[in-house]
């Protein structure tokens, strides 16, 4: 009988403002081509110190993720950081999840651009010693130029040049971006009038 401890869950952190097909394509690739059996989209809370008019509130962004992943059992939308002290640090989230779900192992999914700043993360050495990192390519950040860190698995996922900021700008200009966002999530954006101001 397979033990629960063998399950490895990838944590894909982000504001997902909004989530788009690039996020889903990377997530899909990772669960199909790595040892990760499932992936949680961890929606980052809005910082009380950085109010941005273009940033939807926490639960609206969480709802967009729920709608985007639909019934895909490989994925989960997580609001775990909404309930943790702010500002949220990855090591604190990892520690909390590891205690809450002792039968799971967790790994972090980040873009290559984040590697250049990883040494600035709180307790980054502890993260590297206790958790695996799955790194996907980002435009303008070659693997050769990235810092060489332990516990890294490079994922040769397609390079995605779609960005949430591009989508917000396009929607604000009145452009129809329905094929850049999963159908249910786009319907919700359109219905609620998100990003139009």
Q: What is the pLDDT of residues 71-116, one digit of tens each?
A: 999 999 999 999 999 888 999 999 999 999 998 999 999 999 999 8
Q: Give the model confidence (pLDDT) of 133-148 as tens digits.
A: 999 999 888 888 888 8
Confidence of residue 15 (pLDDT cuts 50, 70, 90): very high
- Per DSSP, the three-state class of 22 is helix
Q: 112-126, 148-162, 175-189: which has the highest mean pLDDT?
A: 175-189
Query: 6: pLDDT confidence band, cut at 50, 70 and 90?
Result: low
| Other CB atoms within 10 Å distance of the CB of residue 63 | 17
> What CATH homologous superfamily does 4-162 map to?
HUPs (3.40.50.620)
Cα separation, 165 vs 107, whole angstroms: 26
pLDDT at 49 over 80: no
User: In angstroms, what is the C-alpha Rg of the chain?
Assistant: 17
Give the integer Cα–Cα distance in Å for 16 and 65.
7
Res. 151: pLDDT tops 90: no
Cα distance between residue 138 and residue 110, in whole Å: 10
Establish whether the linkage from the previous residue to 20 is cis, with ω within 30° of 0.
no
Report which of residues 52 and 46 the model is more confident about: 46
**Mean pLDDT taken over the chain:** 92
| pLDDT of 191 strictly over 90 | yes
Each domain of the chain, given as residue ranges in start order, spans 4-162
Whether residue 37 has pLDDT greater than 70 = yes
pLDDT tens for each residue of 152-165: 999 999 998 999 99
Is the model's pLDDT at 25 over the cut of 50?
yes
Give 54-108 as a DSSP string: TS--HHHHHHHHHHHHTT-TTEEEE-GGGGS-SS--HHHHHHHHHHH-TT-EEEE
Residues linked to residue 108 through DSSP beta bridges, in sequence order = 11, 133
More confident residue, 150 or 1: 150
Q: How much is the pTM?
A: 0.92
- Count the neighbouring beta carbons within 10 Å of the beta carbon of residue 47: 13
* Closest CA relative to residue 40, chosen from 97, 116, 102: 97
Q: Where are the beta strands (DSSP E) in the chain?
A: 8-14, 38-43, 75-78, 105-111, 132-136, 152-154
Longest Cα separation, the chain? 55
């Amino acid at each position: 009988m397979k033990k629960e401890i063998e399950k490895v869950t990838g944590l894909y952190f982000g504001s997902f403002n909004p989530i788009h097909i690039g996020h889903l394509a990377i997530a899909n690739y990772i669960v199909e081509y790595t040892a990760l059996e499932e992936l949680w989209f961890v929606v980052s809370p809005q910082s009380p110190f950085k109010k941005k008019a273009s940033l939807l509130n926490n639960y609206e962004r969480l709802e967009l993720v729920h709608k985007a992943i639909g019934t895909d059992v490989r994925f989960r939308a997580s609001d775990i950081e909404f309930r943790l002290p702010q500002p949220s640090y990855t090591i604190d989230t990892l520690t909390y999840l590891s205690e809450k779900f002792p039968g799971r192992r967790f790994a972090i999914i980040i873009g290559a651009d984040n590697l250049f700043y990883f040494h600035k993360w709180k307790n980054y050495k502890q993260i590297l010693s206790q958790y695996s990192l799955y790194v996907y390519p980002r435009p303008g950040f070659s693997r050769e130029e990235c810092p060489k860190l332990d516990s890294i698995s490079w994922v040769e996922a397609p390079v995605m040049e779609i960005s949430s900021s591009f989508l917000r700008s396009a929607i604000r200009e009145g452009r129809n971006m329905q094929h850049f966002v999963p159908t249910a999530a786009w319907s919700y954006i359109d219905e609620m009038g998100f990003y139009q101001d």
